Structure 1
Amino acid sequence: MRIADTFNLVDFANTTVCLLAALALGTLIGAERQYRQRSAGLRTNVLVALGAAAFVDLAVRMAGVDGGVRVLAYVVSGIGFLGAGAIMKEGFNVRGLNTAATLWCSAAVGGCAGSGYLAEAALLTVLIISGNTLLRPLVNAINRIPFDERATEANYEVRLTVAADSVAQVRESLVDHLERAHYPVASVETEDPSENDQTVEVVASLVSTSINPEELDAVLNHLEKVHGISHATWEMHVKN
């Protein structure tokens, strides 16, 4: 019988210890996720850790260390598909990245356990839980820091409301003012005229950089004094 040929009490005991360790460590990670009411909670993290451990343990028993290494590579890439299912995009917001990363780490714990590196698996579990809990106050503290445009790389647009017969002159003046303030212009576009066809919007996109809001406001104050410009403003679009 095939079972009689493959069964070895020592190997079976080793597999049992490895899988139980993966089960226990996956439970610790999943319990924290379940408490936080994340989409990938207790059972998901346990199954990820247990599955990774089982695949690696089986590969090691069948093909030795080289087989285990090959399966580990497949586990790393395969768990990415599972993590992608936890990521959701809502408008400009992306949710589930931390959940996907936790699943990835749970697979790493299972891989360590399945390879017999139980101490490393336990250490990794402690670090994962610490990252999801102890770093939370730091994240909240950073999020409460007032937003500083000068420290943020973003896309900036300078928008001018211009008399239709002054567009060419205003475009040159706009580029000149911005470049003298060391804000190079990537492009200048003219949007469709307003309903009365007497004014148009001239939009200058700045080269991606960090700006000083006070400096840019000063540039716009000078621009509003240029003949043909009735209104000047700027907008920021933060990169995702």
Structure 2
Amino acid sequence: MNSFLTEDILKLLIAAGLGALIGVEREYHSKSAGLRTMILISIGSTLFTVISAKLGGDAGRIAANIVTGIGFIGGGIIFRENNRVVGITTAATAWATAALGMCVGIGYYEIATVSSGIVLFVLYALVPVQNIIKRRNQLRNYRIVCKFQQKTLKNYEMLFRELDLDAKCGIQSRVGDTITGTWIVQGSERKHEKLTKILLNDPEVIEFDF
């Protein structure tokens, strides 16, 4: 077998392996782009890079097109769920995986290997750090519906201050004898839980969500 062909096959196998390592983590956490997706992204970017080198085209233009293609995939991964934007980390992972595939395609195996290790470190090792930050500081969107009375919503703003929660008032609306208020509230997980408990036991609250 031609030595160049053998090297190209090796590149595809390495790309598949690196994509699989990253894909396993995404699959384990039940993300929209998991094992197969990351392998295909890695192999695809490697294959495009190898082909562009063989055709003698503008490598920079091929690389730019790969990045553009990954941008479309990333746009499909990111979506809104319950007033939150989710999938950004998975989209960024797909973007990084494509870059790894390109590194393998041009023969920069060391850079690809080290970079994949860094990606895995970010996805695995930094989760506890992220959880600590979330426990100490969370941002939640609260919507409270209650019976309309004068200064009703002001009472809840006072409650936020009493619990040392930073609240920014959003849309307020009244329908019949009920009034709805929304706030963006920032504070520790413990304070949020205390607020939730108070709202659950408040007879004036018809419904609320966050």
Q: TM-score range by the shorter chain?
A: 0.5 to 0.7
Q: d(CA) in 2 for partners of 1:21 and 1:79? A: 20
| Whole-angstrom CA distance in 2 between matches of 1:16 and 1:146 | 48
Distance in 1 (CA, whole Å) between partners of 2:96 and 2:59 is: 18
In the alignment, which residue of structure 1 is the partner of 2:55?
A: 62
Distance 1:146 1:125, change over 3 A: closer
Q: Does 1:145 align with 2:111?
A: no
Say if 2:88 is the partner of 1:97. Answer: yes
- Per the TM alignment, residue 32 of structure 1 is displaced from its structure 2 partner at its CA by 1.4
Q: Give the superposed CA RMSD.
A: 4.0
Q: What secondary structure, in the 3-state scheme, does the structure 1 residue paired with 2:30 have?
A: coil
Q: 1:53 and 2:46 equivalent?
A: yes
2:121 is the counterpart of 1:133: no
Q: Spell out, residue by residue over 1:201-238, the C-alpha distance to the aligned partner (whole angstroms, 9 max, x if none).
A: xxxxxxxxxxxxxxxxxxxxxxxxxxxxxxxxxxxxxx
User: TM-score w.r.t. structure 1 length?
Assistant: 0.57
Q: How far has the Cα of 1:31 moved from its partner?
A: 1.2
Q: Which runs of 5+ in 2 are unaligned?
A: 140-148, 151-173, 178-210
Q: Which residue of 1 aligns with 2:97?
A: 106
Q: Which runs of structure 1 show a deviation greater than 2 angstroms over 4 or more consecutive aligned residues?
A: none
Deviation at 1:39, TM superposition (A): 1.5
Residues 5-24 of structure 1: per-residue CA shift (max 9 Å, x gap): xxx92321221121111011
TM-score (norm 2): 0.65
Partner of 2:114: 123
Distance 1:39 1:53 in 2: 22
Contact 1:68 1:115 in 2 (8 A): no
- Residue 23, structure 1, aligned to residue 16, structure 2: yes
Structure 1 gap segments, 5+ residues each: 1-7, 153-160, 163-190, 195-240
* Matching residue of 2:207: none
Partner of residue 38 from structure 1, selected from 31, 37, 41: 31
What do the CA deviations read for 1:19-66 (whole angstroms, capped 9, x no partner)? 1110111111111111222121111000000000000110011116xx
Q: CA deviation at 1:91?
A: 4.0
% same residue: 36
Task: Say if 2:8 is the partner of 1:10.
Answer: no
Q: Give the Cα separation in 2 of the matches to 1:103 and 1:39.
A: 11
Counterpart contact for 1:22–1:50, Cα < 8 Å: yes
Residue-by-residue CA offset, 1:166-206 (whole Å, 9 max, x unaligned): xxxxxxxxxxxxxxxxxxxxxxxxx9xx9xxxxxxxxxxxx
